[in-house]
């Protein structure tokens, strides 16, 4: 059936930045689609509730469906060690490169430390995880699928988040260059570009006067909800997109195409 195209049964999905926000939602969604899920974050302790939630929802006879791994994506040694641990469980078929941070300050107040923190996590971290995953997949002679989480700020700009916007633009180019070089190994690389998605972290701002002004500039006149990303992320993570690589999908209520 058509919906079976989006199933992930028999696959293992690695989700970085899985402890909260979009990463947590993606991890739950991948498990609901039938995947075993490797949950990675800097603090492994904050992942335990999510591991328990996923495993308790699985049939009693099933193998462990979720496992937590400590990972600072900006640390090459930790990335390598994480994949060593993953190999002892399941080498991921799908990697959702979701870990990310932002620091909101005017451009002239951003420090070198701010720049390093954002770029090292969002861009360097995505590169480290994706290239390590690709090396392991090639060595195992196994096809793979990498989904990089970028942002509409990778294509447009906003004030106060210069390092974030720059990092997400880099992620888009990373996606294209990796898609080009990894196609010969049957490894696909695509990007998801969320628009303004309401989460517990930003809901108060989006409901403020400043948030209302922002909403008025979105052609659909609405902010997204995390559930709006379900279809697009399942498309990219599943075999439904088996002929897609080097593609970027925006989920933004037409925000990117608003008039100047």
Phi-psi region of 254 (alpha: psi -120 to 50; beta: other; left: phi over 0): left
Say whether 164 is catalytic.
yes
Q: Which of 127, 164, 196, 223 is catalytic?
A: 164
**Cβ contact 199:21 at 8 Å:** yes
Distant-in-sequence contacts of 158-165, Cβ < 8 A, 24+ apart: 159/106, 159/107, 160/104, 160/105, 160/106, 160/107, 161/102, 161/103, 161/104, 162/107, 162/110, 163/102, 163/103, 163/110, 163/114, 163/115, 163/118, 163/119, 164/100, 164/102, 164/103, 164/118, 164/122
Distance CA 242, CA 260 (A): 36
Which residues does the annotation mark as catalytic?
Answer: 164
């Amino acid at each position: 059936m058509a919906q079976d195209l989006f199933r992930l049964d028999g696959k293992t999905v690695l989700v970085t930045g899985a402890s909260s926000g979009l990463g947590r939602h993606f991890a739950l969604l991948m498990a609901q689609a039938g995947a075993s899920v490797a949950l990675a974050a800097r603090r492994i302790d904050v992942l335990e509730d999510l591991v328990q939630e996923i495993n308790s929802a699985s049939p009693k006879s099933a193998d462990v469906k979720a496992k937590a791994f400590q990972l600072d994506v900006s640390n090459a040694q930790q990335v390598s060690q994480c994949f060593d641990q993953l190999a002892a469980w399941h080498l991921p078929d799908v990697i959702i490169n979701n870990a990310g941070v932002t620091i909101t300050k005017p451009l002239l107040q951003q420090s070198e430390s701010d720049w390093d923190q954002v770029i090292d996590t969002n861009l360097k971290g995505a590169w480290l995880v994706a290239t390590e995953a690709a090396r392991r997949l090639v060595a195992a002679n196994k096809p793979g699928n990498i989904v990089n989480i970028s942002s509409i700020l990778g294509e447009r700009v906003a004030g106060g988040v210069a390092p974030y916007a720059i990092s997400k633009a880099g992620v888009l180019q990373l996606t294209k260059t990796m898609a080009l070089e990894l196609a010969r190994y049957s490894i696909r690389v695509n990007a998801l570009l969320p628009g303004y998605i309401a989460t517990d972290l930003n809901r108060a701002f989006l409901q403020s006067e400043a948030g209302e002004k922002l909403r008025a500039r979105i052609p659909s006149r609405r902010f997204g909800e995390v559930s709006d990303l379900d279809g697009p992320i399942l498309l990219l993570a599943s075999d439904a997109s088996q002929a897609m690589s080097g593609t970027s999908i925006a989920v933004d209520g037409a925000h990117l195409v608003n008039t100047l």
